[in-house]
Every structure is written in C-alpha cells, then in structure tokens.
A and B are shown apart, each in its own frame.
Chain A
C-alpha cells in the first residue's frame, strides 16, 4: 500500500463520479420512461382492469394463459414475422443498391438523393392517408391503371389476401430511404484510397463492390438488420392509420392488437400481457439475431 496505489484509487473514484454524473440524466430518463413502464406492464398483466376503474382484480397468470392460446395474437405475430422478413429482403438490397449508385455517381446524383429521401421525411400518418386514397378501389390510381389496360376494379386494402402485402410494400417504400442513407454513411467510412488502389490493381467496379465494399460494409449491414428486425416487430403507425389491423385481422400486428385491446376494448390487464409478451418475443429475437451475426468474430 504505497502512495502510488492511493493515487490510483483516488483517480478511480474521481473517474467513477464523472461517469456517474454523465450517465445520470440518461439513466434517469430511461428508468422513468422505459424500465418503470416495462415493470409496470408486467405487474398490470396479472390484473383484470379496464383502465380507469378503481376495481383492479388480481387474476394471476390468467391473462398469460389466454395470450398463449389467443389465435389473434399469434396471427399478429406471424404477420409481424412476415413484415420482418420481407422488410429485410426488400429494403436492404434496394437501400444498398441506391447507396452504391449514389456513392459512385457522386455530386451529379444529388437531386436523386433528395428525391429518394422524400418518403422518409413524410409522417407515417400522412403516408397512411395518402395510400388510403391512392388505393381506393373505385377512384384510386391502381384501379385507374388497371382500367386503362382493360382490367376491373382493384381492391387491395379490403381483401384479406392482399392487405398485408400491400402494407409491407408501403412500409418498404417509406423505409428504404432510411437504409439508403445508412449505407451511404457506411460508404463514407470507406477511404477513397481503397477504391483507387483497387482500380489501379485492375479490379472492375463489380469486383470492388462484391469483394471490397461489401465486406467493409458488413458492420453497417449487421446493425441495419437488427434495427429492421426490432422496428418491424414493433411496427404500428402506418398499419394503424391505413387498416387498423383489418379486415378480419388480416393485417393485425402485435402492436395494433395491443392498442385496440387497451384503448378500444379497455382491457388494460390483457393489453399489458400482450405488451409484455411482445417485449419478451422481440428481445429474444433481437438478442438471438445479434448473437448469430456476431458469432464469427469470437
């Protein structure tokens, strides 16, 4: 126990205080608005409660038992998985292609960059209403196009067979620009020297993309995939505005089902069980995905 060790210890205490001070505001906000509600949701899921009554009946795990056998919830979960898979399959490659094009085209393509980014700037609610009118079976543009080619009226949102795919397409239209910008940032991290060196070594643009750029973009792609998974699994706004999960639950997502249960049926206890179930499912899927994506590097 010398002077030196005491100094180290003192410095560590100082560091700890600094860390604590800097983290405190964030932790406070997360604690109040994230952690506390999560815990509260789990607690509420044990009750039968309409959301405003003073009568809150403890019913143990009944809500959870109901959740496990609720075909609407699992149908919604299946829809979420479909949104998740198709979001990755549609949005990632297109976003990457657009980013690659913009990266190679440079300043000349600035106008394209701005235009492509516009869907991302619009609020989901506005997009929902826009497409509601655009897809109107009598007056919408899809029907107009179909009629121009001699077809009949096209009903995409009222048909349980097409409604979810239509929503997924619109979601892709909205979010692809996000991944475009994300990958552009990824490209920004690759030094121009690398491209130049590859070209001097006789690589084609194709070689450069597949063998150099893509491996270097891997970290961006990985986090984009995780972001997309989490976003898809808790997706809400556009579907809520456009179809409210209908018709016949064909486009129901876990979040819209939770909202309707909480704020239309006023079954706050069961809605909390749905929310907690969502939390568990999404956490598990996100953590497993991250584990799988990071496995190689260990």
Chain B
C-alpha cells in the first residue's frame, strides 16, 4: 500500500513536471496550441532566442575565404529597408573584400535581441541605438567603438546638424552616426476638418483649447490617440512640461539635481486630465494600439482632427492614405504657453532617430564605418528623401510641403528635448510610461504619478551610485 502511494506521488510529480515541460517546449518552438512563456522564464527564452539570432548570421566580423564578414542590424521596414539593402549591395560591389549580412530586426523586440546577442558574444558589427541612456550604458560597458577619428576625417561630421552629432557624442567621443531620420513631434491635422469649422492653426495652448471646444461641440474628436502604446500619450506630457518649464526641470530630475515633483510635471499631468475630462481625446484611447494604426484610422476618416506624433507620421500617411496627394495633411508645432517664462520654441524628438554604431569587438572597424557611410551615399540620400525621411544633413532639402514645415519648426527651435523614454534608463522610462498612462486613465492623480516616478528615479540613482 505504502509503496503504491509513493509511486502515485512520484508519478503525479512527474506528470506535473512534464506538463509544464510540454507547454514550455511548445512556446519555444512557436506552436500556439498551448499557452506560451514558460514558468521557467527569461533564461529559457533567451537560450532559444540566442540560437535563433545566431542562426540569422549575427556572427562577429571574421575572415573566411579571403572576405571580411560584416553583419548589420537595422529596424527599418518597407521601402527604406530596400534602400538599405541596395546601399549595402553597392558597398559590396565597390569593396569586394567585404561580405555583408543585412539583418532586418523587428522594432519591438530589437532591444531584447541586442542584449541577448551581447550576452551570447554574437553582437553584430553594426547596430542601432536610439541614443540616450541605453547608448551611454553600452559605451560604459565598452561595447561601442570610438568613431571620432573616422567622423572627423575629411570633415564628414560637419555635414550633419551639430545637434545631431551632439546626440551621438558621449564623453567627448563620437560613438554613432545619425543616419535615419530627424524625428520631431508636432501636431498633424486634417485641413479639411479645420476648414469645415473655420479653424486656423493655433499659436498658443489657449487657442488650441478653443479649437478643441469647437470640435467637441460639433461631435468631432480633437485628438486621435492610441495610448495602449504608452509613449504616444507621453508626448503630450513631455511637451506640456517643456512648455511650462523648458528643458531644465527634466534634465535636473533625470540627473538627481531636481525632482519629478517639480511644478512643470504637475502642470502637464493636470492639463492632460483636464483635457481628458473635456473629451478632447478619442474614445477608449487607453486600449488602442498605435502600432496597428488604430489612431491613424480615426485621423484619416476625419473622426479625429489632430494627431500629436513624430515626423515619421508623414511616411505613414503617404503609405496608408491619400492625404498628402490631396493636400489635406497639415502640421503645426506644439503651441506655446503664454503664462510661462521658459523658451517656447523647444521641440521634442530626436535628430537621427536610429544612430548606427560599430561594435567594439568588430575586427575591421574602419570597414564597418564605411559600411555605415554607404547608407547615406548620394543615391541613398535621394531615395531616402523620396521616401519621406528627413536626413540630419545641414544642406537637406525636401519638396514635400509638410516635411518643410516640420523642418521649419526644427530650425527655429532653441533646442531639442530627447524623448523621455530614450533619455531615461529603461527601468525608470517604463515607470514614466506607466504612470503617464494612468494619468490619462484618471486612475492616478498627477501628484501620485509624479511621486511614483520620482521614487523610481531616486532608487535608480541610489543603486548606481549617482
């Protein structure tokens, strides 16, 4: 009797275990018949992912058959991805000693894939970051090659906007090339809707609120917003805080000199909740996903009149609708706050968007740098311009009216506030996005949100001895 009981217990234990094992294996092989992500967690997942990425050819530069192998990771899609492949093909034709593998990564999982590759020692030779704290961390870890001498040669760095080079510089070393796009945020609006209600571009936040009230009275939602994505709503918060207090409150809060309990952030949170209560945002925004275009759909239909978004929005619109051909897409910079003494021209965004760096482990860093340069050769610049990209060159010109308006707002800006979620260390950035979503959802007061964020920032700084 006793023996059989023991066996039963053992058998049930094994059964429980194999069941978890079975489901866990299911996840790593990608079947969806069982629920994914095992209890055994990150490590199991990372083991599987790493093999996958090695399989994709992400080996460090190595010489084989007389050719130097280089791997480049990027996250562009559509036409731009084709442009990159064409640039690389031209590079290989001109430099037959190189064999380049282009790996197109998915935006959402990119950071994960890169950190796994770093761990596994299979870091790509050329990779992108968004600048800010993540890039600084990588440099501090000794993972990124110093490109200063290559960038200074023949005055190459001088071709770029100074602020763009500044964004690629850390500890006085240029560690990346700003290739992709000048992305600054502002309001895109539907000209048809505006003219229907006799509205004109607002200069001040008070003007904007008047416009919103008119739209609401006519049953049109002023702002299209998909805030399950979180960074979308965060732009309102960042702009409002910047209009109230300029760049200093955030810079101080992030360095530990100041605090997120500053009035600038309180103003941002309070204004957002006021706008939510007045019905300025589209219905159910906190459950909508921007990556699947749920906000843009409302914008194209005219259900919502404005969308606060980065300038990549122009590429989306040209891909997905006829608004540019019809001339119904308009742009105005985030309006100013009359009552504030801070500079009202600051713009929010990044000058380069994807910054291309070379791995410190790359055996042919000069070749890798040339590879990056090929992404912005004359042919590529032409193609990229046609694709709606704003290249961070000083002499950049576009024939797209909306693009030029965006450029105008950038050129008249006294400075650029880098996206909070790229400036802040990841763990604090996540808290910011989270609390900001809660402000929008009215599930936290602005004060609670700011205190939570400040606590996270303080913890991070304390842990890292800053």
| Chain A residues within 8 Å of B, Cβ to Cβ | 29-30, 32-34, 36-38, 40-41, 44, 48, 50-54, 120, 122-125, 129, 132-133, 135-139, 153, 155-160, 163, 178, 226-227, 230-232, 234-237, 243-244, 246-249, 255, 258-260, 262-268, 271-272, 275-276, 278-279, 282-283, 286-287, 290-291, 294, 298
* Bound-state Cα–Cα, A36 to B46, Å: 13
Which chain B residue has the least Cβ–Cβ distance from A122?
Answer: B32
Interface pair B37/A236, CB less than 8 Å apart: yes
Interface pair A247/B287, CB less than 8 Å apart: yes
Interface pair A231/B34, CB less than 8 Å apart: yes
Partner of A33, one of B25, B39, B284: B25
* Bound-state Cα–Cα, A50 to B430, Å: 14
* Bound-state Cα–Cα, A58 to B227, Å: 37
Partner of A34, one of B40, B287, B443: B40
- Taking A138-B303, A248-B437 as known contacts, 15 extra A-B pairs with beta carbons closer than 8 A to each other, sorted by chain A number, are A30-B21, A33-B44, A33-B48, A34-B21, A34-B24, A37-B47, A123-B32, A132-B289, A136-B294, A155-B284, A158-B286, A235-B35, A248-B438, A268-B42, A298-B5
* Bound-state Cα–Cα, A160 to B284, Å: 11
Could you list 20 examples of A-B contacts with CB < 8 Å? A37-B40, A54-B141, A124-B32, A125-B32, A132-B294, A135-B287, A137-B288, A153-B283, A159-B286, A227-B19, A230-B23, A234-B23, A234-B37, A246-B228, A247-B227, A248-B441, A249-B434, A266-B426, A286-B19, A294-B8
Stretch of B111-119, B196-204, B368-376 at the chain-chain interface? B111-119
CB distance from B381 to the nearest CB of A (A): 33
Which chain B residue has the least Cβ–Cβ distance from A124?
Answer: B32
CB distance from A53 to the nearest CB of B (A): 6
Chain B contributes a number of interface residues (CB within 8 A of A) equal to 65
Which chain B residue has the least Cβ–Cβ distance from A276?
Answer: B41
Interface pair A138/B298, CB less than 8 Å apart: yes
B28 within 8 A of A: yes
B445 within 8 A of A: no
Interface pair B111/A48, CB less than 8 Å apart: no
Interface pair B5/A50, CB less than 8 Å apart: no
* Bound-state Cα–Cα, A112 to B259, Å: 62
* Bound-state Cα–Cα, A267 to B46, Å: 14
Which chain A residue has the least Cβ–Cβ distance from B13?
Answer: A287
Q: How many A-B residue pairs have CB under 8 A?
A: 208
* Complex interface: chain B residues within 8 A of A275 (CB): 39-42
* Complex interface: chain A residues within 8 A of B13 (CB): 287
* Complex interface: chain A residues within 8 A of B5 (CB): 298
* Bound-state Cα–Cα, A232 to B19, Å: 13
Interface pair A287/B16, CB less than 8 Å apart: yes
Interface pair A37/B41, CB less than 8 Å apart: yes
B292 within 8 A of A: yes
Interface pair A157/B287, CB less than 8 Å apart: yes
Which chain A residue has the least Cβ–Cβ distance from B289?
Answer: A132
Interface hits, B1-53 → A, CB 8 Å = 5, 8, 12-13, 15-17, 19-21, 23-25, 28, 32-44, 47-48
B189 within 8 A of A: no
Interface pair B43/A50, CB less than 8 Å apart: no
CB distance from B436 to the nearest CB of A (A): 11
Interface pair A278/B39, CB less than 8 Å apart: yes
Interface pair A51/B119, CB less than 8 Å apart: yes
B463 within 8 A of A: yes
* Complex interface: chain B residues within 8 A of A271 (CB): 41-42
Which chain A residue has the least Cβ–Cβ distance from B40?
Answer: A37
* Complex interface: chain A residues within 8 A of B297 (CB): 136, 138-139
Interface pair B228/A157, CB less than 8 Å apart: yes
Interface pair A265/B426, CB less than 8 Å apart: yes
* Bound-state Cα–Cα, A275 to B20, Å: 14
CB distance from A59 to the nearest CB of B (A): 9
Partner of A52, one of B48, B141, B298: B141
* Bound-state Cα–Cα, A33 to B109, Å: 22
* Complex interface: chain B residues within 8 A of A40 (CB): 43
Interface pair A230/B137, CB less than 8 Å apart: no
**Given A37-B47, A265-B426, residue A158 in contact with residue B41 (CB < 8 A):** no
* Bound-state Cα–Cα, A255 to B20, Å: 14
B282 within 8 A of A: yes
CB distance from B111 to the nearest CB of A (A): 7
Interface pair A279/B115, CB less than 8 Å apart: no
Interface pair A287/B41, CB less than 8 Å apart: no
* Bound-state Cα–Cα, A275 to B154, Å: 52
* Complex interface: chain B residues within 8 A of A122 (CB): 32
Interface pair A247/B141, CB less than 8 Å apart: no
* Complex interface: chain A residues within 8 A of B137 (CB): 50, 53
Interface pair B16/A286, CB less than 8 Å apart: yes
B427 within 8 A of A: yes
